[in-house]
């Protein structure tokens, strides 16, 4: 059988894997074995599945595949952040970033996954938006980034049985809400209590303000965190920085976010990139406070990370602090995002891949 015609098993839940086994004339518990090999053991080869009889491994391999993306390259930053270049079956490539929550190699990690190959939205300050949009990722390719990263990490650890990756953020390449069906499917798989077991509250989706997607997401009844890349609190500036604002201006975006908060009861996060001399004046802080105050929300400030070929500048530390203080004085819940992996171009907004 041509490998293209094989059935992809990543993305299937236990019931679907049981059905798969049973369609091949195998007992249903073989599906549960597959489930464990895929989602607990990060195995992509049927021949490593030691509790399956040899001819069953062969039979599964003839009909199916487990496409954990190939890690073509990995770079490690001075702070321990790892950036993986991952290749999909059709040779398309994305980047995935593994961020340690502490200095301890055996500690916990947050994984930043990509949801698209490239991005169609072209935000002015973002490296991904400078390249060409190629396609959406399938749910199995998103979950595959998790399995592939965890497998790489386990190879380096003494005690690989501990929970390693405890948080997943959809903040890599692409706009997740333009690929919502696959993104939601991937969340259900990450969240499966018999598989990867990632709590929904440990999952964050970041959107540049795809208002229709926000409303659709609200209907899903998920306990994940929604982050909105706001970056400007007036329409004129936001049109420039985040072009999707022309389609969904601030009024439309904020109405959608308000509905989301009402429907889910979840506190949202507004991300705000800080560009020196562009969006961090006192007036900008006042506009931002006015816009966000009525909502149940946190603000996460992201000092700009350098992108080759772009002219924006990171603000001085004292300007970051001043902006932060104005917002706090206005009664907002504010934090400043720590930069990770800046020395290997793995920080927010620095992900870009040339396709071969």
Which residues contact ligand SAH by CB under 6 A?
Answer: 123, 125-126, 171, 175, 206-208, 229, 271, 273, 302, 304-305, 307, 348-349
Structure tokens at 233: 């609190």
Q: Which is nearer to ligand SAH, 208 or 254 (CB)?
A: 208
Do 112 and 118 touch, CB atoms closer than 8 A? no
CB of 229 to ligand SAH, least distance (A): 4
Do 301 and 274 touch, CB atoms closer than 8 A? yes
Q: Which of 112, 126, 208, 348 is catalytic?
A: 348
Confirm whether 112 is a catalytic residue. no
In DSSP terms, 84 is beta-bridged to 74, 96
CB of 211 to ligand SAH, least distance (A): 13
Q: Which is nearer to ligand SAH, 264 or 279 (CB)?
A: 279
Confirm whether 220 is a catalytic residue. no
Do 87 and 72 touch, CB atoms closer than 8 A? yes
Q: Is 341 helix (H, G, I), strand (E, B) or coil?
A: coil
Q: What are phi and psi of 73, to 5 degrees?
A: -150, 145
Q: Which of 18, 95, 210, 345 is catalytic?
A: 95
CB of 329 to ligand SAH, least distance (A): 24
CB of 70 to ligand SAH, least distance (A): 24
CB atoms within 10 A of CB 311: 8
Q: Which is nearer to ligand SAH, 10 or 241 (CB)?
A: 241
Q: Which is nearer to ligand SAH, 43 or 207 (CB)?
A: 207
- Pinpoint the alpha helices (H) of the chain: 14-23, 29-39, 54-63, 127-130, 139-155, 180-191, 211-218, 235-241, 250-264, 282-292, 317-329
Active site residues: 95, 348
């Amino acid at each position: 059988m041509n490998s293209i015609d094989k059935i992809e098993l990543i993305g299937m839940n236990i019931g679907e894997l049981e059905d798969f086994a049973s369609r091949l004339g195998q007992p249903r518990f073989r599906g549960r074995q597959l489930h464990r090999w895929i989602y607990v053991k990060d195995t992509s080869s049927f021949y490593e599945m030691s509790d399956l009889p040899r001819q069953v491994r062969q039979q599964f391999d003839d009909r199916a595949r487990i496409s954990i993306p190939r890690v073509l390259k990995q770079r490690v930053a001075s702070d321990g952040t790892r950036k993986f270049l991952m290749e999909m079956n059709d040779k398309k490539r994305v980047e995935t970033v593994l961020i340690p929550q502490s200095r301890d190699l055996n500690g916990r990690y947050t994984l930043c996954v990509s949801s698209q190959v490239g991005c169609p939205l072209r935000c002015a300050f973002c490296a991904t938006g400078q390249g060409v949009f190629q396609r959406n990722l399938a749910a199995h390719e998103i979950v595959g980034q998790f399995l592939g990263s965890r497998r790489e990490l386990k190879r380096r650890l003494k005690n690989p049985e501990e929970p390693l990756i405890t948080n997943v953020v959809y903040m890599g390449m692409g706009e997740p809400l333009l690929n919502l069906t696959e993104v939601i499917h991937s969340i259900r798989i990450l969240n499966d209590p018999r598989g990867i077991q990632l709590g929904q509250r440990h999952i964050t989706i970041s959107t540049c303000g795809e208002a229709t997607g926000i409303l659709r997401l609200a209907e899903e009844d998920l306990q994940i965190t929604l982050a909105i890349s706001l970056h400007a609190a007036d329409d004129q500036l936001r049109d420039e920085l985040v072009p999707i604002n022309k389609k969904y201006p601030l009024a439309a975006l904020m109405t959608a976010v308000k509905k989301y908060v009402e429907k889910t009861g979840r506190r949202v996060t507004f991300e705000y990139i800080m560009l020196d001399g562009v969006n961090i004046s006192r007036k900008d802080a006042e506009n931002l406070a006015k816009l966000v105050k009525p909502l149940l929300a946190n603000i996460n400030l992201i000092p700009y990370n350098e992108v080759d070929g772009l002219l924006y500048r990171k603000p001085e530390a004292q300007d970051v602090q001043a902006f932060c203080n104005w917002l706090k004085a206005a009664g907002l819940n504010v934090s400043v995002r720590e930069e990770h992996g800046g020395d290997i171009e793995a920080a927010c907004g620095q992900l870009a891949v040339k396709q071969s």
